[in-house]
Structure 1
Amino acid sequence: MLENARCNEYPDRGTCEDRGFTIKWYYDRYAHRCREFHYGGCEGNGNHFDSFEECSQECRYEPLDDPSRRCVLPHDPGTCAGNFERWHFDIRIRQCVC
């Protein structure tokens, strides 16, 4: 979910289809990108933008997981009593270890 609530709404074409459609942009929260769609011109919801640039500025996806920090996380053996081979990166020796 994004902070800007309008970016989390499903795209809505609106109800004024008799006026003809115009090209707008909406934010696809599942694909994490802006997509083009046909807007009917009235009503609908807030998840429609005049341009890709406007959509991209309003709806920026920032993952909660910071990839640059993954390799410095401590080893977590978990709570399972099973015997499974798992690897992790040991920052002290800068190698993957089992």
Structure 2
Amino acid sequence: MAQLCDPRRCPVLLALLASLLLFGAEAADGEPDVHDFCQAPKVVGRCRASIPRWWYNATSRSCQRFVYGGCGKNENNHLTEKDCLEKCAGVTENTIDGLTTKRSGADSSIASVPKRQAFDDPSSDIFNYEEHCTAKAVTGPCRASFPRWYFDAEKKTCDNFIYGGCWGNKNNYISKEEPGAHPPHCLELWGR
């Protein structure tokens, strides 16, 4: 019967195995930064479902919609834009432990609390009235069946429709009262 370990090599292999086990235990003790997942790329996954989700883009510092396939996700996969912003707003590619470092002046180690940017705030220059308020409901070519709400500019009301899960527009809300949704703002801004 063959020996598993040559007497000259066994101590070396055992020492190597012990160091690997010790290093693995130390690595498991270190807690990951709470914002690490905010810097992860979006992962659509290999499955073919069509589930609307949100991911945080650390480069643009914004939460963006994407269509999730239903399996193989990472932690940068949020049910709502609000959830995405609550967990990741202000995180940049240079964020360290939830703080960003300013690169102005001689001292580049001064930390500042990240600012939250509201990209869909109607008072913001980025809010587009036509995209959020006057666009027609778009079911899209995908075959999912998600109940959604949109602002009907002709009737000046929020109405429901079925969203297929992809290729929609910004006039597409999970609920009539979705926090941060713009149908209420559409009514306020109708006089524009």
Scaled to the shorter chain, the TM-score interval is 0.5 to 0.7
Structure 2 gaps, min length 5: 1-32, 91-98, 107-192
1:15 to 46, 71, 74: 46
| Inter-partner Cα distance in structure 2 for 1:16 and 1:58 | 26
Structure 1 gaps, min length 5: 77-98
Map of 1:65 onto structure 2: 102
Alignment-mate amino acid for residue 39 of structure 1: Y
Q: Which aligned pairs between 1:29-48 and structure 2 lie closer than 5 A?
A: 29-48=58-77
| Inter-partner Cα distance in structure 2 for 1:42 and 1:64 | 35
Between structure 1 and structure 2, the one with the greater Rg is 2
Answer 1 or 2: higher relative contact order, Cα 8 Å, separation at least 6. 1
Is 1:49 aligned to residue 78 of structure 2? Answer: yes
- TM-score between the two structures when normalised by the length of structure 2: 0.31
- TM-score between the two structures when normalised by the length of structure 1: 0.58
1:31-58 CA-to-partner distances (Å, cap 9, x unmatched) read: 0010000001111211110000000000
Give the total of aligned pairs.
66
Identity, % of aligned pairs? 23
SS across alignment from 2:64 = strand
1:4 shift after superposition: 1.0
Map of 1:4 onto structure 2: 35
